[in-house]
Amino acid sequence: MLRGFYAAASGMIAQQRVTEYLTNNLSNANTPGYKGEQASLRSFPELLMNRMETNNIPQKNMNQKGSVLGGLNTGVYMQETTPIFTQGDLQQTNKNTDIAIQERVIPFNTAAKTKGALFFELQNPDGTTRYTRNGNFTLDQNGYLTTNSGLYVLGENNKRIQVQSSDFKMLEDGTITENGKQVGRLKVAFSDNPNTLVKEGEGLFKTSNGKSLPTASNNNRIAFSVNQGFIERSNVDVTQTYTELMSAYRTFESNQKVLQAYDRSLDKAANEIGRLR
């Protein structure tokens, strides 16, 4: 009975965590460049139950360790959440500092069984590198192209992009021109296995080994365009997320009712069956 009690409790905990990540997806449905998450639910190892008291059991149902009673599932847990790196829709803003990446041809990594992904490369003030798909950029007081949180957008020479005003132009290959002169080129980084990236807050990612990702411009297998005056919207499917959220609520309630049934049974066993009359 206690095993069933713990199995129902583990189901409630797993669905609570599912609810948390789905709620986070919904809260970021309007965040530019946000990549929704998906969860992996796994069951705990199944136990093979054996009966050890074998004096009155027919010999044909016995083995060296006793008679086999059957398998017992010991519950479920949420193993991890992983981002979904599919392309989000592009929304036109007509703001020069808004930039979006449009993926056209991205190679598939057969070994990792996943499609590659493109990112803007950013630099923290301390020199560390981060990656994002949120192209809602701005200019700081020195004319550097930055994120709203102050990270610098890098060019292909791994230097910060600096312009004189927001009137600059960016071509589809990332080339930046100002007053008819080329002042730099936006670096678009490529990850052949984005699932290895470590997710941070504010739509940022970093590599697990601390090394920089290669540029996508020199890869003949990749085709993309840079769109100025656009932002990439979140790839969260709101309708599907609401459906999954309701399913998680219902599953949580089902496990809760099972837990309450076990609790009532334990109450009767402890307070009624064993009562002396």
Question: What digits encode the pLDDT tens for the residues 158-216?
Answer: 999 999 999 999 999 999 999 889 999 999 999 999 999 999 988 999 999 989 999 99
Of 234 and 53, the one with more pLDDT: 234
State residue 62's pLDDT score.
46
Question: Which amino acid would we find at residue 2?
Answer: L
pTM score, two decimals?
A: 0.82
In this structure, the answer to whether residues 225 and 103 fall within a common structural domain is yes
In this structure, the answer to whether residues 20 and 112 fall within a common structural domain is no
In this structure, the answer to whether residues 73 and 24 fall within a common structural domain is yes
In this structure, the answer to whether residues 153 and 75 fall within a common structural domain is no
Report the alpha-carbon distance of residue 218 to residue 193 in Å, rounded. Answer: 18
Q: Can you give the residue range of the structural domain that contains 108?
A: 86-231
Q: What is the torsion angle, in degrees rounded to the nearest 10, for the CA atoms of residue 27, residue 31, residue 34 and residue 40?
A: 10
In this structure, the answer to whether residues 90 and 202 fall within a common structural domain is yes
Backbone angles phi, psi at 144, to 5 degrees: -85, 140
Q: Are 177 and 215 in contact (CB under 8 A)?
A: no
Of 276 and 202, the one with more pLDDT: 202
Question: What digits encode the pLDDT tens for the residues 97-133?
Answer: 999 999 999 999 999 899 999 999 999 988 999 999 9
Residues 6+ apart with CB under 8 A from 85: 35, 115, 117, 194
Report the alpha-carbon distance of residue 205 to residue 133 in Å, rounded. Answer: 9
State residue 26's pLDDT score.
96
Strand partners, 258: none
Burial of 113 (0-12, 13-18, 19+ CB in 10 A): exposed
Report the alpha-carbon distance of residue 10 to residue 6 in Å, rounded. Answer: 6
State residue 188's pLDDT score.
97
> For the residues of 102-126, what is the DSSP string, one character each?
EEEE--EETTTTEE-EEEEEEE-TT
In this structure, the answer to whether residues 221 and 111 fall within a common structural domain is yes
In this structure, the answer to whether residues 128 and 225 fall within a common structural domain is yes
Confidence of residue 67 (pLDDT cuts 50, 70, 90): low
In this structure, the answer to whether residues 159 and 56 fall within a common structural domain is no
How many alpha carbons lie under 13 Å from residue 4 in its C-beta half-sphere?
A: 11
In this structure, the answer to whether residues 59 and 171 fall within a common structural domain is no
In this structure, the answer to whether residues 96 and 224 fall within a common structural domain is yes
Q: How many domains does the chain have?
A: 2
In this structure, the answer to whether residues 100 and 226 fall within a common structural domain is yes
In this structure, the answer to whether residues 48 and 167 fall within a common structural domain is no
